[in-house]
Chain A
C-alpha cells in the first residue's frame, strides 16, 4: 500500500513538473510585445531607430525559441522567459530613447525658433534706426519685404513645431534667422557708412 502511494506521488509530481515547465510564459511574451509596440507608437522608428531594431531583434530571438519549443514533447520555457524579459527591456529602452530623442529634437527646434524671433526683432529694431532720406526708401522697402518673408517663415516654423515636425521647424527657423541676420548686417553697414 505504502509503495503504491509512493509511486502515485512520484507520477503526479512528474506530471506537475512537466506541465508546469511546459506552459509558455504568456504574460511575459505579451509584456514584451506591448513594450515594443509602445516604442513604435512613441516614435522610436523616427527618433530611436537603432534601439527599436535591437528590440525587434530580441523579439525575433524570442519567437525562434517559442517555435523551437513548440516542436518538443517535453517543453522548457526557461530560456523563452529570459528572452521575453530581454525583449521587454529592449522595447522599454527604445521607448525611452524615442522620448528623449523627440524631446531633444523639440528643444532644438524650439531654440531655433526663439533664436530666429530674436534675430528678427533685432533686425526690425535696427531697420527703424536705418538712415532715412531720399534714396533709402527703396532699400528700406526691400529689407522690410525680406523681414516680412522671414516673419512668415517663422510662423510656418511654429506651425510645424505644433505639429511635432521638428526638423521642418528647425530648418525654417534657421533660414528665417539667416534672412534677418542678412538685413541686420546690411543696416549696420549703412549706418557705419553714414557715420563716415
Chain B
C-alpha cells in the first residue's frame, strides 16, 4: 500500500470512529432525556388524575381550601417542569419536578378525602334534618287532625311547603341549604304543635278535670235520685251516654263541632259548649231530628261578658245559640258548627228515651285521656328542649 493510501484510510477510520462516538453520545443523551421526560410526565399524569378525582368529588364545594392548595401546587409543578425543560435542555433535572408533582398529587388526594368525608357528613346531616322535620310535620298533622288549629293552620301548611323545598334542595345536591330548610320546616311544625298543645292544656289541668268529673257525677246522682233519664256527653271520648235512674242504659259515638277542643265562647267558633244544660225542644230538622238544648245558659252568658270585658272578643262577636243533638252523623269526623251529631237511627232511638227537661251535661273529659297526655308530654318535651 502506498503512503498516500494509508493516510487516506487512516482519515476514514478516524472519521468513522468520530461518527460512532457522536452517535453513541447522542443515543446516550436521547435515552437519558427520554427517561427523565417520562418520569416527569408520569408524575404529572398522576397529579392530574388526582386533581380530576378531587373535582369529581365536588371538592370545590366541600373542600375548597384543600382544592385551591392542590391547584396551586399543580400550577407550581407545571411551571417548574416547563422551566426545567427549557433551562436544562436536552437533559432536564427530573428529581425536583417529580417532587413538585408528587406534592401536588398528595394535596389533591387530601382534598378528595376531605371532600368525600364532608360530603358524606353533609348528606347525613341533610337526611337527618329532613327526617326530623318530616316527623315534626307528621306529628303536627296528626294533632291538627284532632285539634282544630284555626288560622294557625297556616304554620302547618308552610311547614309542609318548606319541607318540600328541603327535599328539592337535597335532590339538587344542595345539602347545606336542604338541612337549613328542613330545620325551618321543623320549627314551623313545632309552632303549630305548640298552638295545639296550648289548646289541649286545660284537659291536663287537674282543677278543670275535677270540675268536669263533678258535673258528670252530679248528673248521674240526679238521674238516680229522680229516677229519670239524663245525658252525659264526654267530648274527648266522642261518647254520649244515657243514664236511667243513675245507670248507663245506652251509649253512642258522637261527632262534634270542628273546633270541639275549645269550650264554646261565641257564634261561629265551631266549638261544642261545655256545661250543664237541659233539652228545651224536640224538633224536626234538616238533620233528621233534633233535641235543642238551652245554650247559652247563665254561666255561658257570664263567661261571654267576662271575655268581652277582657277584650278577648271582637266588638261584633255574638254568643250564638241553636245548639242541638241531631242526626245526620256517621261521617267519622267532627264536622258540625258546635252541635252533637248522631246517626239518624241513633237520634230516633234517643228520641224514645228522653223528653223536654232531660239534663244534658257536656264535659271536655272525664278522665286523664290522650289529649291530656299530649299536652303534658308536649310541656315536658318543651322543658327538656329549653336551654
Contacts and interface: CB of A to CB of B under 8 A. Distances in A.
Contact of A68 (B86, B162, B172, B335): B86
B83 interface: yes
A172 B154 contact: no
B78 A64 contact: yes
A145 B162 contact: no
B16 interface: no
A72 B336 CA distance: 94
B169 A64 contact: no
B258 A138 contact: yes
Interface string A126-163: 00000000111111001001101110010000000000
B331 A135 contact: yes
Interface stretch (A29-37, A89-97, A173-181): A173-181
B30 interface: no
Interface residues of B, number: 37
Interface string B318-335: 000000000000010001
Interface size for chain A: under 10, 10 to 19, 20 to 34, or 35 or more residues? 35 or more
Given A49-B60, A71-B83, A179-B164, A145 B259 contact: no
Interface string B73-85: 0110011011101
B157 A149 contact: yes
A179 B157 contact: yes
B82 A64 contact: yes
Given A60-B78, A67-B79, A170 B87 contact: no
A20 B155 CA distance: 74
Nearest to A147: B157
Interface string A51-68: 001001000110111011
Contacts of B148: 138
Contacts of B81: 64
Most chain A Cβ neighbours within 10 Å, of B151, B157, B172, B258: B157
B160 A179 contact: yes
Most chain A Cβ neighbours within 10 Å, of B55, B71, B82: B82
A71 B162 contact: no
By secondary structure, the A interface counts as helix
Contacts, number: 101
B335 A142 contact: no
Contacts of A68: 79, 82-83, 85-87
Contacts of A42: none
Contact of A171 (B83, B85, B165, B270): B165
B165 to A, nearest CB: 4
Contact of B161 (A56, A72, A149): A149
Contacts of B60: 49, 53
A69 interface: yes
B172 A171 contact: yes
A167 interface: yes
A186 to B, nearest CB: 13
A125 interface: no
A148 B154 contact: yes
A13 interface: no
A175 B83 contact: no
A162 B148 CA distance: 38
B337 interface: yes
Contacts of B259: 138
Contacts of A153: 161
18 contacts: A60-B74, A64-B83, A68-B85, A72-B86, A134-B335, A136-B335, A137-B258, A138-B148, A138-B270, A138-B335, A142-B153, A148-B157, A149-B157, A149-B161, A170-B168, A175-B164, A178-B161, A179-B161
Given A53-B60, A64-B79, A182-B160, 4 more contacts: A68-B79, A138-B258, A153-B161, A178-B164
Shortest Cβ-Cβ A-B pairs, 3 listed: A135-B335, A175-B164, A138-B258
